[in-house]
Amino acid sequence: MSTAFPRSWEHAVVTGGAGFVGSHLCAALLDSGSGVTCVDDFSTGRPENISTLLDRPGFALVPANVSEPFTVDRPPDLVLHFASPASPADYLRLPLHTMEAGSLGTRNALALARSAGARFLLASTSEVYGDPQQHPQSERYWGNVNPVGPRSVYDEAKRFSEALTTAEADTHGADTAIVRLFNTYGPRMRGHDGRAVPTFVRQALAGEPLTVTGDGQQTRSLCYVDDTVRGILATAAHGMRGPVNIGNPTEITMLELARLVVELTGSASEVRFIERPTDDPAVRCPDITLARDKLEWEPRVSAEEGLGRTIAWFRAHLGS
């Protein structure tokens, strides 16, 4: 299935480019021939994520907090706003920083795009659907979010950033796009970031019990990072505004995921059930009809293959 659109970028700015998804996005853009400026304050991103990019022609790093005005050395023709804590452990530790990244950070990234006449792409999230009452979730669904719950600092920051991006397009005619990313995983995730895949892989490789919350019947839809990046770049190239869901429509329960990780690692670890977090969604699955129809995009990497690659990376980077 093709997602090759006849559009290339001379210079892309990626905010949050030292983060998990952002660093993969920077590498993919460089591989396509684009110059790339990574903007990151390293509050959750890691220098080692972009260490192999620093000496590549066309790559530049701007250490900056996007919640404050920032500049880059040359005008971009594409701005991708990915700067935000994204794991529960991070946004619960950095609640105000998270909300500022979604509000002030989005405003500053939009201002950069407007001044350069660049296309702007916002990385939103399936978290805007909250604990959904529609299943699977389509882009037309408005969500079921607790605005004062512990997850609200992330959920509402992203919902606000979507509204701000839409207002920028409607008011100033800006060329904008919104992608809603679902449960991306792969190499460069941090073992202690609180998300299920890195937690389970780290525990299995260490021979520790895999901590499954609640009864483990809650579902997620796991999309390997290479597939996610293809979807992001396809959206940028297509010119659509969105929002568009980018995720894997194949659901898996957390208990099934834990058992699969144990199998793939060859671990002797057992499963241990722990208390489920407040407002933890019961189901999460994207309707990707829009991405299939408009972008000719869908995931290619199976859970077994993607988890295998992720486990291999963790084996080589234990302790990082």
Active site residue ranges: 154
Phi, psi of 199 (to 5 degrees): -65, -50
Q: How far apart are CA 106 and CA 158, in angstroms?
A: 9
Q: What is the dihedral of CA 276, 222, 22, 145, to 10 degrees?
A: -50
**Contact between residue 144 and residue 131 where contact means Cβ atoms under 8 Å apart:** yes
Q: Which residues pair with 37 in a beta bridge?
A: 13, 60
Q: CB within 8 A of 107, min separation 6: which ones?
A: 164
Structure tokens at 186: 């792969």
Q: CB within 8 A of 297, min separation 6: which ones?
A: 1, 3, 230, 231, 234, 246, 288, 291
Helix (H, G, I), strand (E, B) or coil at 185: strand
Phi, psi of 271 (to 5 degrees): -95, 135
Task: Give the β-pairing of 184-185 and 176-181.
Answer: unpaired
Q: How far apart are CA 66 and CA 83, in angstroms?
A: 7
Amino acid at 239: G
Place of tokens 């060329």: 175
